[in-house]
Amino acid sequence: MADQNFVDYVKICFRSGHGGPGFVHFFRSKHNPKGGPDGGNGGRGAHIILRGNSQLWTLLHLKYRKHIYADNGVTGGESNCTGADGKDIILDVPLGTVAVHPETGEKLLEITQHDQTEILLAGGRGGKGNAFFTTSTNQAPDYAQPGEPGIEDWIILELKILADVGLVGYPNAGKSTLLSVVSAAKPKIADYAFTTLVPNLGIVSYRDNLSFVMADIPGIIEGAHAGKGIGTRFLRHIERTSVLLFMIPCDSADIQKEYQVLSNELHQFNPELSDKPRILAITKTDIVEAEWKDLIKNELPTDIPCVFISSVAQQGLDELKDLIWQQLHQPLH
């Protein structure tokens, strides 16, 4: 996926349709010159609806649509004819799309399943025609209801990718290399910071034809929650993952400190991330002697399962998969 084609945030002004007004009309014919009221009701204004589409991966198709206005309902007609409803606008969005109000931050809805439909903005109801208001004491009402107005508002659509495991680490921690080894994903890999500029998803095969989805998130640096580096642009994607896999290279100057920085960045962005199951993988262990592992164990955090891996040498990967699977399927307390 080209970097410029990955769009996970759009802000659009939506407007649902106004309801059609009711109609004022009295039946007239050669044989009945003073017939009763027969004005019909107005049609409903069009809804704006979001629909999940598992074939979409970004919000690119909505990037340049800054205003989306739905049709109004049609005015009622004579002979008690109800006006036509406005044609609903149905917008296909990728799974994991969340609608958020830009001023209040309120989450309006989320789409997580294929073909799931949710009304983003409801169209206005049609007004009642004068026939509706006929009573025994008012047999010739000469008024009708106007249609209910539609709703107009700016709304943010943001994509939070759906994955079982999210890779968390500094740039160049080996996240993309791991994903390329354990899945068929082909992320861009190079020896410089922020090689990964878009999240990459890969399906990881496990024992007995089982599998889970792993997401490579662009690297986090200290201050990311405040906008440093790539900032909060991709931190939202970690919110959807079930397990966090922290990755720290074995040549880090201070593994414990690096883990605390990463953990703090996630907590500052969203405190709920602190409650997710997590695993620590010490990467690139092919560049050190075997005795080094025993020396380094005292420097590792004690409150998180740890595993030593080398994606290049394919060492420790089965143990890592086992740990991930255990965390994904541990019983809920």
Please state, in angstroms and rounded to a whole number, the distance separating the CA atoms of residues 53 and 37: 47
Please state, in angstroms and rounded to a whole number, the distance separating the CA atoms of residues 56 and 181: 25
Residue 121 host element (H or E): strand 117-121
In the predicted model, what is the mean pLDDT of the chain? 85
pTM of structure:
0.70
Provide CATH code, domain 1-159: 2.70.210.12
Lowest mean pLDDT, pick from 40-49, 56-65, 319-328: 56-65
Contact 238, 166 (CB under 8 A): yes
Q: Where in the chain is the domain with CATH 2.70.210.12?
A: 1-159
Joined together, the tokens standing for residue 163 give: 């994955």
Q: Where in the chain is the domain with CATH 3.40.50.300?
A: 165-328
Q: Right CATH number for 165-328 from 3.40.50.1260, 3.40.50.300, 2.60.40.10, 3.40.50.970?
A: 3.40.50.300
Residue 327 host element (H or E): helix 317-328
Model confidence at 230: pLDDT above 50: no
Distances (CA, A) of 9 to 60, 62, 156, 291: 9, 9, 7, 47
Q: What is the DSSP letter of 26?
A: B
Residues in CB range of 207: below 8 A, 6 or more apart: none
Tell me the mean pLDDT in the region 184-189: 53
Q: How confident is the model at residue 226 (pLDDT cuts 50, 70, 90)?
A: very low
Pairing of strands 97-100, 107-111: antiparallel
